[in-house]
């Protein structure tokens, strides 16, 4: 029987609850957003005792379904001031699911300065003081937990960024090698977990794969779907998500120098092809899975020219926002910055965007690698400038009097210029999550529309946002494809798992209902539909191609009305 585990940091107590019937069809984002919208006051302080952190595996996480190891972490965001779900892979989601944990709800707040380790076993969940871990980086925490609990243990942790409750702080999850390379980066979930006094969570037992309601039918679909994904996603397997660098550069939507340009002459230097070549020549690895059962395997292990480990999971968004968007085109240097962010527990996307805004203000020159290293260090050292950058791109730009701040609802845009990919621009503007590509990325060819033309983009984004929410609810990686062509397969997996008989349309209605809960929470928090827009410079500054973001503002406001 699955259960919900509540950890009260006021009383330092742990209780288990039966899962309400109304939550049976919810997992991942569906469950985190439902619990947050019901139990958290929308006007509470994100780092106060009234906020909660909800960690929930997807409905299919812990099963044999391909690419289903995803987990959602939800709370009221210190970055956006609204509801937030941050999605992550790694080994912890499957470990929680296989122990029958439907959700982990962390509430309340301990005494100031206290930090704890939450230990989860097969029949026991307990809090322990974590004095030995205070101030430790994510890699140090990973080494400590692996030494103490063995290589089979899965873990979740925060670095110094989370301890200092920076709004850009991420939550790290261990990968198959036990390294903290998978991150729930967006929205400052690391800061909220840090405010609860939780330094790390360790799951000491892996448990058994979950059994679907109709196992035979489920396994039939799994076998077919796994084969389709393995055959159809070879570019991601061979080159990782960095395969998008050349593709997005080609359509003129690659952010360069704080979203000033949409193309980069030197894009090949930071491309997936170059990354794969470097991995092959330096004893690194491509085609690496972040969890068991991933057939796409878009991750990588990246080494320097001497064959020494630098980082893992060097992804497109990191390469662009810490790279070209900051005027940096050296893949090895970007990898070093990625390691720093993973180690300190900082979102690479928000950190890269904040650094680019600081460059816009003249704090650094674009391309100043040493300066970027120094400022990332200052973020966790707690200098005045470091604290400012740690609040993200929007706050950094406001304080430094910068006009060109690429952010929506307090969160920076990810690595796609909305003038060249207008469907993704609609998602940035309208998602309750802030400017988040994972909420509904309208990649080239995904919608069947001309990405440069405004017509039809709102409907296309809306559909992909709902499909992406379904993926998050199921615990499927979005690289399986949040597209209509996969809806029938997702519906079958949902039905055979839960014993329901949903139609594809009813599953779409479930996804839409989750988004509407999030929108309602945000409205109570003061984030209205009239904030469904992009910064003005995207409408007035043309890319070299002559493109601006010209989607109708009134239609943006009405998208989920």
* Mean pLDDT, range 157-166, rounded to an integer: 98
pLDDT of the residue at 1: 64
User: What is the per-residue pLDDT across 213-228, written as a single tens digit (0 to 9) for each?
Assistant: 999 999 999 999 999 9
d(CA 320, CA 254): 8
Mean pLDDT, the chain, as a whole number? 96
Higher pLDDT pick, 206 / 42: 42
495 falls within a domain:
no
Domains in the chain: how many in total? 1
State the helix-helix crossing angle for 457-474 and 487-498, rounded to 10 degrees: 30
The domain that contains 194 carries what CATH number? 3.60.9.10
d(CA 465, CA 472): 11
User: What is the per-residue pLDDT across 329-368, written as a single tens digit (0 to 9) for each?
Assistant: 999 999 999 999 999 999 999 999 999 999 999 999 999 9
The Cα diameter of the chain in Å comes to 62
d(CA 50, CA 484): 39
Q: Do 306 and 312 meet the contact criterion of CB atoms below 8 Å apart?
A: no
User: What is the per-residue pLDDT across 87-139, written as a single tens digit (0 to 9) for each?
Assistant: 999 999 999 999 999 999 999 999 988 999 999 998 899 999 999 999 999 99
354 falls within a domain:
no
176 falls within a domain:
yes
pLDDT at 206 over 90: no
479 falls within a domain:
no
Residues pairing with 57 in the sheet: 71
191 falls within a domain:
yes
User: What is the per-residue pLDDT across 269-304, written as a single tens digit (0 to 9) for each?
Assistant: 999 999 999 999 999 999 999 888 999 999 999 999
User: What is the per-residue pLDDT across 370-421, written as a single tens digit (0 to 9) for each?
Assistant: 999 999 999 999 999 999 999 999 999 999 999 999 999 999 999 999 999 9
DSSP alpha helices (H): ranges in 484-526?
Answer: 487-498, 504-524
Q: 184 is in which domain, residue-wise?
A: 3-203
DSSP alpha helices (H): ranges in 233-271?
Answer: 234-239, 244-250
Q: Do 256 and 263 meet the contact criterion of CB atoms below 8 Å apart?
A: yes
Q: Environment class of residue 273 by beta-carbon count within 10 Å: exposed (0-12), middle (13-18) or buried (19+)?
A: middle
pTM of the model: 0.97
pLDDT of the residue at 561: 80
19 falls within a domain:
yes
User: Residue 207: pLDDT band by 50, 70, 90 thresholds?
Assistant: confident
244 falls within a domain:
no
94 falls within a domain:
yes
Quote the tokens at residue 552. 């109708």
User: What is the per-residue pLDDT across 55-99, written as a single tens digit (0 to 9) for each?
Assistant: 999 999 999 999 999 999 999 999 999 999 999 999 999 999 999
Residues in the chain: 561
């Amino acid at each position: 029987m699955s259960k919900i585990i509540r950890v009260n940091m006021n009383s330092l107590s742990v209780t288990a609850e039966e899962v309400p019937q109304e939550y049976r069809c919810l997992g991942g984002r569906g469950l985190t957003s439902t619990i947050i919208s019901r139990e958290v006051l929308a006007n509470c302080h994100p780092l106060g005792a009234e906020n909660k952190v909800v960690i929930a595996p997807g409905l299919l996480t812990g099963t044999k379904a391909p690419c289903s190891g995803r987990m959602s972490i939800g709370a009221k965001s210190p970055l956006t001031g609204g509801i937030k779900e941050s999605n992550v892979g790694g080994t912890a989601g499957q470990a929680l699911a296989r122990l029958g944990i439907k959700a982990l709800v962390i509430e309340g707040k301990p005494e100031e300065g206290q930090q704890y380790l939450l230990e989860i076993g097969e029949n026991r969940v307990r809090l322990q003081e974590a004095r030995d871990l205070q101030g430790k980086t994510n890699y140090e925490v990973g080494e400590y937990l692996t030494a103490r609990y063995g290589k089979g243990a899965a873990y979740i942790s925060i670095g110094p960024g989370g301890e200092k409750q920076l709004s850009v702080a991420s939550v790290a999850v261990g990968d198959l090698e036990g390294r903290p390379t998978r991150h729930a980066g967006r929205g400052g979930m690391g800061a909220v977990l840090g405010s609860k006094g939780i330094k790390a969570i360790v799951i000491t037992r892996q448990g058994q794969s979950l059994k679907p309601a109709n196992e035979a039918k489920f396994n039939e679909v799994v076998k077919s779907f796994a084969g389709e994904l393995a055959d159809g996603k070879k570019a991601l397997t061979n080159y990782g998500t960095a395969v998008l660098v050349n593709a997005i550069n080609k359509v003129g939507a690659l952010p360069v120098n704080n979203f000033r340009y949409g193309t980069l002459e030197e894009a090949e230097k930071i491309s997936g092809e170059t990354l794969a070549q470097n991995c092959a020549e330096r004893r690194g690895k491509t085609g690496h899975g972040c969890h068991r059962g991933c057939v796409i395997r878009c991750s990588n292990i990246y080494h320097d020219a001497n064959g020494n480990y630098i980082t893992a999971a060097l992804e497109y968004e990191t390469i662009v926002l810490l790279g070209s968007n900051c005027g940096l085109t050296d893949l090895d240097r970007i990898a070093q910055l990625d390691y720093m962010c993973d180690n300190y527990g900082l979102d690479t996307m928000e950190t890269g965007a904040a650094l680019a805004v600081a460059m816009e203000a003249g704090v650094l020159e674009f391309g100043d690698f040493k300066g970027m290293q120094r400022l990332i260090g200052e973020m966790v050292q707690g200098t005045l400038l470091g604290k400012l950058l740690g609040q993200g791109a929007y706050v950094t730009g406001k304080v430094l009097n910068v006009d060109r701040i690429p952010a929506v609802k307090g969160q920076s845009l990810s690595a796609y210029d909305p003038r060249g990919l207008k469907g993704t621009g609609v998602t940035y503007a309208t998602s309750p999550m802030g400017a988040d590509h994972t909420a509904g990325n309208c990649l080239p060819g995904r919608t069947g529309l001309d990405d440069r033309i405004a017509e039809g983009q709102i409907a296309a984004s809306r559909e992909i946002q709902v499909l992406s929410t379904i993926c998050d609810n199921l615990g499927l990686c979005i690289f399986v494809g949040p597209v209509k062509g996969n809806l029938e397969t997702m519906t079958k997996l949902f039905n055979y798992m839960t014993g329901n008989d949903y139609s594809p349309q009813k599953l779409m209605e479930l996804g839409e209902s989750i988004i509407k809960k999030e929108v309602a929470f945000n409205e109570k928090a003061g984030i209205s539909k009239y904030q469904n827009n992009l910064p003005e410079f995207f409408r007035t500054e043309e890319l070299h191609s002559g493109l601006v973001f010209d989607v109708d503002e009134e239609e943006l406001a009405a998208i989920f009305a």
